[in-house]
Amino acid sequence: MPVFAYRGLAANGRSVAGVVDADSVRTARGKLRERGIFPTELAEEAAAVKRTLRDYFPSFGRRIPPPELSLLTRQLSSLLGAGVQLVDALAALADQSTRPVTKRLLSQVRERVREGTSLGDALAIHPETFSDLYVGMVRAGEAAGALETVLNRVADFSENQAEFKAKVTHALTYPVIMVCVGSAIMFFLMSYVVPQVATIFQQSNAALPLPTVILIAVSDFISGYWLLLVLLIAGTIAGTMYGLSTKRGRRLYDTWLLRMPYIGGTVIRVLCARFARTLATMLQSGVQLLPALTSVKHVVTNGLMADAVEESRTSIREGHGMTHPLAQSGLFPPLLIEMIRVGERSGELESMLERVADTYEREVERSLDQLTTLLEPLMTLAMAGIILFMMLAILMPIFQLNQLMK
């Protein structure tokens, strides 16, 4: 259905703006008049952008950034807690927003709710912004009559996940920058500086030391075949991305990642923390276990672990517990399995999952701190060793020339 953007005057004389779904301009004007809005500007949103950029980038210009979404969720919860009706609360959030994308999306959600659609179904129309987890929790909150509480939990969960992700990203930023900067410097030295120095040494017709011979050979190779190296790197990246897009390639990558020394254990703890935190939040919000596991399966990004979660769903559907399939996979740590088993028996599964999520998040932070602490001196020593080798390779022939001149 076409979407029309409008500007107009409300019955109290206040200027309003938003969007309305309608089959035609005439229908849109009729809808607005029914709401007491007298449109001064009304135009269908341009479809050209949808036929170009959005064909290739479905989320282009349509997604609310996660930090802003968390803030909007908390504000909506506060408005509902203050007794404001849902439609009015959505209208207030749309009016106060300064981002066109946010204003348009909230206006569309408000229109759906005004027409009788539930909030969860209205949000589900925008999967690029509202995940299955978000929509499922909102639907559970609506069914239980506790939408305000559930929205607060969604906001808390989103902020905790964003903070945890930021810590992981921060820990890995320094090593990545060091590798990129170091590689760029080495490439510049080997392709530009070393060839000029090598020309001087070769004109002397003196026997060169082995380090100098090695350095000149590597430099000649990089200078002569730099285009081939660039194409080889680009081909490797493209081939890797294509392989990851296939089911078999993704499975091989997931298996290799979990088996890597030290890295594999950290990845498992990250995914287990995400699994436990997400499942606990959904259960606390009133989502049933089977639908909750369906959403959690998409949060666990490793295919092997996601398959184990799916098997646990099948086990629950057949009347058994969820711990046996998780333990049989050999991927989930014993602590998580034991906490789930105790939670199922005691009826406190949510609190047990919260505790194990806290435990794994702390372990991940410690592991990343240790990894960063170890990588920084190792990378510094590696860079120092390469620079020392290059200095010796350049200075040793100079010392030899000085000795010959004497």
Output the six-digit token pair for 121.
Answer: 């179904």
Choice between 271 and 18, residue whose per-residue pLDDT is larger: 271
Give the model's confidence band at 58: pLDDT under 50 very low, under 70 low, under 90 confident, else very high.
very low
Q: Facing residues of 44 across strands?
A: 4
Residue 96 lies in a domain: no
Give the C-alpha separation, 220 to 34, whole Å.
77
Lowest mean pLDDT among 1-5, 70-74, 170-174, 244-248: 1-5
Nearest CA to 39 out of 15, 74, 22 is that of 15
Residue 234 confidence (pLDDT): 92
Query: Which structure tokens are listed for 343?
Result: 């939670």
Q: How confident is the model at residue 110 (pLDDT cuts 50, 70, 90)?
A: confident
Q: What is the pLDDT of residues 261-290, one digit of tens each?
A: 888 888 888 888 888 888 888 888 788 888
Q: What is the mean pLDDT of residues 298-318?
A: 85
Confidence of residue 232 (pLDDT cuts 50, 70, 90): very high
Q: Does the residue 68 lie in any domain?
A: no
Tell whether the model's pLDDT for residue 293 goes beyond 90.
no
103 lies in some domain: no
The reported pLDDT for the residue numbered 238 is 92
Is the pLDDT assigned to residue 320 strictly greater than 60? yes
Mean pLDDT along residues 5-17: 75
Which of these, 293, 281, 340, 285, lies nearest to 159 by C-alpha position? 281
pLDDT at 62: 55
Q: What is the pLDDT of residue 104?
A: 83
pLDDT of residue 9: 77
Q: What pLDDT is recorded for position 30? A: 78
- Name residue 133's amino acid: L
Contact predicate 155/138, CB 8 Å: no
- Residue 59, pLDDT above cutoff 70: no
Give the pairing type, strands 15-21 and 3-9.
antiparallel
Name residues whose C-beta falls within 8 Å of residue 273's C-beta, 6 or more positions apart in sequence: 164, 357, 360, 361, 364
Grade residue 231 by pLDDT with cuts at 50, 70 and 90: very high
> Residue 215, SS3?
helix
Mean pLDDT, the chain, rounded, equals 81
CA distance 330 to 319: 22
Range of the domain at 293: 167-406
Between CA 116 and CA 400 the distance in angstroms is: 89
Q: Where is 56: in which H helix or E strand?
A: helix 53-56
Q: Residue 40 is encoded by which pair of tokens?
A: 């001064």
Q: What is the pLDDT of residues 126-157, one digit of tens each?
A: 888 888 778 888 887 887 777 888 888 888 88
> Both tokens of residue 21?
């779904």
Instruction: Compute the distance between CA of residue 104 and CA of residue 96 in angstroms, rounded to an integer.
Output: 12
Q: What is the mean pLDDT of residues 317-339?
A: 86
Q: How far apart are CA 155 and CA 69, in angstroms?
A: 8
**Which position has the higher pLDDT, 234 or 207?**
234
pLDDT at 52 over 80: no
Contact 36, 48 (CB under 8 A): no
Q: Does residue 147 fall inside a structural domain? A: no
Does some domain include residue 98? no
What are the distances in angstroms from CA 2 to CA 43, 77, 108, 197? 10, 30, 11, 68
Does residue 100 lie within any of the structural domains?
no
Helix axes 263-284, 147-188, angle to 10 degrees: 160
pLDDT at 378: 84
Is pLDDT of 204 > 70? Answer: no
Dist CA 323 CA 300 (whole Å) = 16
- Whether 191 and 337 map to the same domain: the answer is yes
Among 356, 358, 333, 359, smallest CA distance to 160 is for 358
Using alpha carbons, select from 18, 92, 176 the residue that is nearest to residue 9.
18
- Structural domain contains residue 136: no
Residues 39 and 173 occupy one common structural domain: no
Domain identity same for 174 and 319? yes
Segment 52-69 mean pLDDT: 58
Q: What is the CATH number of the domain that holds 273?
A: 1.20.81.30
How many domains, in total, are found in the chain? Answer: 2
Does residue 208 belong to any structural domain of this protein? yes
**Which residue shows structure tokens 């090695």?**
214
46 phi and psi, to 5 degrees?
A: -60, 135
pLDDT digits 0-9 by tens, 153-203: 888 888 877 887 787 787 778 778 877 887 888 777 777 777 777 777 766
191, 113 Cβ separation under 8 angstroms: no
41 and 171 part of one domain: no
